[in-house]
Structure 1
Amino acid sequence: MVSTVIHQLAEARMLDYDVPVSFYWPEFAAHGKESITVRDVLTHQAGIPQMPRGVTPEMVCDWDFMIKAIEKLKPLWTPKTKTGYHALTQGWILGEVARQVDGRSLAQIVQEEICMPLGMTDLYFGIPKEMESRIARIGSEFLMGDAFSEGHLINQVIPKGMEPGSEFWNRSDIRQASIPGAGAIVSARALARHYAALCGEGVDGLRLLPPERTRIAATLQTEEPDVVMFDSPVRKGLGYWLGGPLSPMGDYVGVFGHEGSGGSIGFADPENRFALALTKNKLTWGPGDEATDRRVIRAVRESLSISGKNT
């Protein structure tokens, strides 16, 4: 969703993928980050996937605090030389770039440029307090922090206590905060509608991006082993992840979207004029083809006779 906002701003000529982030946000340049471009952040090659040390839920809810904390981070690798999933930091970095060039908060841009045009009332970066009763609680029988060694990079990227499925994400203050890397609260219908509006005739004749911009956004940028995702060769476009042999989206031409934690997913398949989203509140990590998201996607494709064209 944040990537879609960035591409809308690029289409409006308010930013350029290959311009340093610090051009739009000067303070970002500190501690060796002056060469990091918007493209580097979109492709998880910026080298700053790690969360600031010692962050508390209250700090995570404070946008200005997180921006100042990210300004102080030092790259863990030379930017552009590796790719590693910036699971949480990417959202704040791109969200702050959007705020700097547009003037509105990311949450406001999403509401005014995505939700309102598409008639969606169930997508938020920070829910209104009165909607609390509508939100499903999430949980998991498996927390990542319990499975990996203390020194594994993923424990810096997603600190213990903030793992998908933990009680952290059920807190009212977290739900009401704008946490763009992982904190969107959305229905499956709205998420699919967002992806449908990025391809084909769009939704009710409305497209969020013109065809050429979508093509640029969904063009392969890197498929190098992801150093955060256990050296898995994730195929990445500009912000969106692409279909491939290991992707639950399938190994199809032009497919783009993003996997979520524990089996949630949203994606578009432009060649087949098809968009799908699956949201879950019991987060699970199943083996291979037996994972819930893969089984659901496979069943839907088969029922619609849109198996797709293999890459």
Structure 2
Amino acid sequence: MDAQARTEELLHAYVASGRETGLQVAAWLDGALVVDAWAGTADPATGRAVDGDTLFQLYSCGKGLTATAVHLLADRGVLDYDAPVAAYWPEFGVHGKDRITVRHALTHRAGIPRLPDDFTLGDLADWDRACAVVADMTPVWEPGTRSGYHPVVFGWLLGETVRRADGRRPDRFVREEITGPLGIDGSLDFGIPGAALPRVAHHAEAADADTHAVSARHAPADTPLRTLSSAAQANHPLRLGACVPSSAVGTARGLARLYAALARGGELDGVRLLSPDRIATATATAVHGIDATLGNPMRRGLGYLLGRPGTPMGHARVFGHDGVGESIGFADPAHRFSLAVAKNRLTDDWTPASTTYALAAAIREALGLPLPGA
């Protein structure tokens, strides 16, 4: 059975069994789209079905897009990894943050992993206000001494650095320099216009996936972000419309195409994103060990997660980023392969028993590629 047919079979089986609600999968091999599949329901309240253009909240899959923007500017000599963030963004260099470098930010070593407890939905949707909050933060550990995941701060920390260095806010920068040239503008963005909201899947926590509750979509702007579940945030128009470069809204097709270019040395269909040397630098192991925020084992390059056995990415040379709910996008340069999964049942299982791992393994097997961890 070929990869497309095998993927369609699995997706429909997962939906029929109740394991998943709605999902998309896309994969590229050596510059060709070899899997483009979807199944299930985008919104149980209306019965709207998932199709190839349904948008999903991909959460931290957006960090890979942000990292790519930073590396593009580094390739052009506009950003220096070892320069202080404050060299580009002077207001940031207070409260002991003057020594935080771009490299520290890319490797989650800045020491400012958590937003203040009173940070609200309205703060998140206001670029200047969110950046001012980040600029005023005080490190909770000595910058550079440990790597601990910065779930949301990562986006503004690097996004405002991009803006100060280039002049364009990161959402405009990626549209003009990355997603537009690749033909995926509207299929991979940090935030979406109101006209695109009808394309977005309704997300639910795994335990609540069969409910149609929508009240959280109307939470007021002064609601503290920490009081909202991942699903509530994923469904909220303020979150969907905000430029939050730690996250992305998009399709599996769009995310897989980004990584298809990176899997081929930075070029796809005549569009050059990064040089091969830059990709090698960005995806070499920069930090590894136990994450100081999550307490889990990790391997990181510069902004990208690196593969580990027993995870969907698997191999050490694979790079990309996952997000809340088991969405993922990654590149496997050794095999010129890329894969992306988007789903609206926000499960949290990265073991071989998970949907995402099973799909990655089945597609690799169908294409004759080594399995995750092999």
| TM-score, normalising length: structure 1 | 0.90
Equivalent of 2:279 in 214, 218, 231: 214
Aligned-pair identity in percent equals 42
Structure 2 distance, partners of 1:172, 1:132, is 8
Gaps of 5+ in 2: 1-64, 209-223
Kindly report which structure 2 residues correspond to 1:1-311, keeping only aligned pairs within 5 A, or say none: 1-121=65-185, 122-141=187-206, 160-165=226-231, 167-182=232-247, 184-200=248-264, 202-229=267-294, 231-250=295-314, 252-286=315-349, 288-307=351-370
- Bigger relative contact order (CA 8 A; separation at least 6): 2
Structure 2 distance, partners of 1:29, 1:246, is 40
Gaps of 5+ in 1: 144-157
Using the TM superposition, give the Cα deviation of residue 55 of structure 1 relative to its aligned residue in structure 2, in angstroms: 1.2
Structure 1 distance, partners of 2:228, 2:283, is 30
Higher fraction of strand: 2
* Contact 1:243–1:249 under 8 Å retained in 2: yes
195-204 or 86-95, which deviates more:
195-204
SS in structure 2 of the partner of residue 160 of structure 1 = helix
Structure 1 distance, partners of 2:228, 2:165, is 30
SS in structure 1 of the partner of residue 139 of structure 2 = coil
SS in structure 2 of the partner of residue 16 of structure 1 = coil
Using the TM superposition, give the Cα deviation of residue 81 of structure 1 relative to its aligned residue in structure 2, in angstroms: 1.1
- AA matched with 2:244: I
- CA-to-aligned-CA distance 1:5-50 (integer Å, 9 cap, x gap): 0000000100100011000001101111010000001000110011
* Contact 2:361–2:371 under 8 Å retained in 1: no
CA-based RMSD: 1.8
- AA matched with 1:24: Y
Structure 2 distance, partners of 1:191, 1:287, is 19
SS in structure 2 of the partner of residue 235 of structure 1 = strand
Q: 1:20 to 1:246 in 2, by over 3 A?
A: farther
Based on CA coordinates, which of the two structures has the bigger radius of gyration? 2
* Contact 1:162–1:169 under 8 Å retained in 2: no
Aligned residues: 293
Using the TM superposition, give the Cα deviation of residue 310 of structure 1 relative to its aligned residue in structure 2, in angstroms: 6.1
Using the TM superposition, give the Cα deviation of residue 247 of structure 1 relative to its aligned residue in structure 2, in angstroms: 3.0
Using the TM superposition, give the Cα deviation of residue 142 of structure 1 relative to its aligned residue in structure 2, in angstroms: 5.2
| TM-score, normalising length: structure 2 | 0.75
